[in-house]
């Protein structure tokens, strides 16, 4: 059975002005999990430290309702059981996986750029002709992620990617928070890394793109299509 690895942030501290914590954006882990399972993939979770905590806004009724709420609240659901067995990056054998998918949530901007364990896994999967995918704030992983075949070059340099936009950050009211904490946006990061940024038609509209084996999605609405394109990229 082909295996996919969903990588998530370990960061889970207060971020929002209302005192809510950031961390993993729930749907951005659940949706790819369901897509991979539907295509008969074995799916596992990893974070740099083996810890997971949720973005509290992603658990609000606006985002968490219906079937998703059922899955989240059912501790025996496939998703809940799988994420409860989350691995530490240093305990992962990258050779076991064909796809690594970086989920989002603002927590990623804190730990993904320094997540050398996750960087190493992504490089090994890429070098073995696997797929590297990221959605929303997941592309924070590209900061410091070198191309294993050209160590002096970043993996996304010269490539077209997408991710959460500056306009989206403004709508969420966190622009000043990011500035105050000296954290950049994904859109600004893309430019700094030498990638071409492809925004969605509107901040929360579905938008995902594949450039060869590099697949990115713009926002929570793009989590499923990013996984679908990752599977197609692997098969092609």
Q: CA–CA separation, 100 vs 2, rounded Å?
A: 12
* DSSP 8-state secondary structure symbol assigned to residue 195: P
Mean pLDDT estimate for the chain: 97
Q: In whole angstroms, what is the distance from residue 218 CA to residue 210 CA? A: 12
Q: 232 φ, ψ to 5°?
A: -65, -40
Across the strands, what pairs with 146?
154
As given in the structure block, the two tokens for residue 214 are: 């590099």
Q: Span 4-33, mean pLDDT?
A: 98
| Residue in the structure block whose two tokens are 């070098």 | 127
Beta bridge partners of residue 100, listed in sequence order: 5, 132
In this prediction, residues 140-144 reach a mean pLDDT of 98
Q: Tell me: pLDDT of 93 over 90.
A: yes
* Region 107-128 average pLDDT: 98
The predicted pLDDT at position 211 comes to: 97
The CATH class of 3-235 is alpha beta
The DSSP code for 105 is: S
For the record, the structure tokens of 85 come out as 């067995």
Query: Cα separation of 189 and 197, whole Å?
Result: 9
State both tokens at 29. 């882990």
- Helix, coil or strand: residue 179: helix
Mean pLDDT, rounded, for 18-44: 98
> What are the residue numbers of the active site?
136-137, 169
The confidence score (pLDDT) of residue 153 equals: 96
Q: How many Å is the maximal CA-CA distance in the chain?
A: 47
SS3 5: strand
The pLDDT value given to residue 113 = 98
| Cα 130 from Cα 97, distance rounded (Å) | 8
> Does residue 151 have a pLDDT over 90?
no
Which parts of 80-195 are beta strand (E)? Answer: 87-88, 99-102, 131-135, 146-147, 150-154, 160-161
Q: How far is CA 83 from CA 9, 69, 163, 193, in A?
A: 13, 15, 24, 31
Q: Per residue in 35-81, pLDDT tens?
A: 999 999 999 999 999 999 999 999 999 899 999 999 999 999 999 99
Rounded alpha-carbon distances, angstroms, from residue 148 to 7, 123, 152, 223: 19, 6, 9, 26
Question: Which CA distances in Å does 67 have to 43, 63, 70, 213?
Answer: 20, 11, 5, 31
Tell me the average pLDDT across 16-32. 97
Angle between helices 27-38 and 223-235 (to 10 degrees): 40
Q: Percentage of residues in the chain with pLDDT exceeding 90?
A: 98
């Amino acid at each position: 059975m082909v295996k996919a690895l969903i990588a998530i942030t370990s960061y889970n501290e207060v971020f929002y002005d209302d005192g809510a914590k950031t961390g993993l954006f729930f749907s951005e882990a659940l949706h790819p999990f369901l897509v991979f399972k539907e295509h008969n993939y074995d799916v596992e979770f990893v974070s740099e430290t083996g810890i997971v905590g949720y973005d509290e806004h992603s658990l609000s009724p606006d985002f968490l309702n219906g079937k998703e709420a059922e899955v989240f609240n059912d501790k025996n659901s496939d998703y809940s059981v799988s994420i409860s067995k989350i691995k530490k990056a240093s305990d992962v054998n990258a050779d076991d996986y064909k796809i690594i998918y970086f989920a989002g949530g603002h927590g990623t901007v804190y730990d993904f750029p320094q997540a050398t364990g996750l960087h190493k896994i992504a490089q090994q999967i890429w070098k073995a002709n696997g797929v590297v995918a990221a959605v929303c704030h997941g592309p924070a992983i590209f900061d410091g992620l070198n191309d294993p075949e050209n160590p002096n070059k970043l993996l996304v340099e010269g490539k077209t990617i997408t991710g959460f936009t500056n306009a989206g950050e403004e709508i969420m009211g966190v622009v000043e928070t990011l500035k105050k904490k000296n954290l950049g946006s994904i859109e600004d990061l893309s430019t700094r890394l030498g990638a071409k940024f492809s925004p969605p038609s509107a901040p929360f509209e579905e938008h995902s793109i594949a450039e060869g084996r590099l697949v990115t999605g713009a926002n929570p609405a793009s989590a499923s299509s990013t996984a679908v394109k990752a599977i197609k990229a692997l098969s092609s």
